[in-house]
Amino acid sequence: MRNVYRPRPEYWVEVISNKLDASVTYAVTSCDPSFPPAFSTTCSPTTRAGSA
């Protein structure tokens, strides 16, 4: 399943989930180069969008 969210005007988030509704991967598209969105999960540390 594919879902696209726009939590703030500066970026969109696309999430791909499996049949159990668990997120498999996500992508972030930022429209403002000075806005670096960050995400965290319960199983990994905070990750800045665009970092590996």
What span, in angstroms and rounded, lies between the C-alpha atoms of 3 and 47?
A: 20
Where in the sequence is the domain holding 9, given as residue range(s)? 2-48
Q: How far is the C-alpha of 22 from the C-alpha of 26, rounded, in Å?
A: 11
The tens digit of pLDDT for each residue in 14-47 reads 999 999 988 899 888 888 888 877 766 666 555 5
Averaged pLDDT score across all residues of the chain = 79
What pTM does this model have? 0.59
Give the per-residue pLDDT at 16.
93
pLDDT of 52 reads: 44
**In the chain, how many domains are there?**
1
